[in-house]
Amino acid sequence: MARTSLNVIKFTAYNQAIYPFDYYVECEAATVGKLTVVENNASTNQIDWNDDSLIGADGNALYSGYAANKYVLKVLGFLQKPDVTTKEFEFSMGEKDEKYILVAKNTAVVSEYYVECEAADTGAISVKASGATGDDQIDYGNTALVGPDGVTLYTSAPTDKYVKKVSGDKTLTIKKGNSIQGVLDSAYNLRHGGTYYIVLESGRYKNVTGSDKGKVVLAATDTLVEVAALCLE
- CATH number of the domain within which 87 lies: 2.60.120
Domain presence at residue 113: no
What pTM was computed for the model?
0.75
Asked if 103 and 205 sit in the same domain, the reply is yes
Asked if 65 and 94 sit in the same domain, the reply is no
Q: How would residue 16 be classed by pLDDT, with cut points 50, 70 and 90?
A: very low
Residue 10 has pLDDT above 80, yes or no: no
Domain presence at residue 90: yes
Domain presence at residue 199: yes
Return the pLDDT at 18: 54
Asked if 177 and 65 sit in the same domain, the reply is no
What would the 3-class secondary structure string for the chain be? CCCEECCEEECCCCCCCCCCCCEEEECCCCCCCCEEEECCCCCCCEEECCCCCCECCCCCECCCCCCCCCEEEEECCCCECCCCCCCEEEEECCCCCCEEEEEEEECCCCCEEEEEECCCCCCCEEEECCCCCCCCEEECCCCCCECCCCCECCCCCCCCCEEEEEECCEEEEECCCCCCCCCCCEEEEECCCCEEEEEECHHHHCCCCCCCCCEEEEEECCCCEEEEEEEEC
Out of 77, 100, 116, a domain closes at 77
Asked if 67 and 99 sit in the same domain, the reply is no
Domain presence at residue 128: no
Asked if 207 and 221 sit in the same domain, the reply is yes
**Containing structural domain, residue 50:** 19-77
Provide the percentage of residues in the chain whose pLDDT is more than 90. Answer: 75
Asked if 178 and 199 sit in the same domain, the reply is yes
- What's the average model confidence in pLDDT over 100-118? 96
Domain presence at residue 92: yes
What mean pLDDT, rounded, does the chain reach? Answer: 91
Out of 31, 56, 77, a domain closes at 77
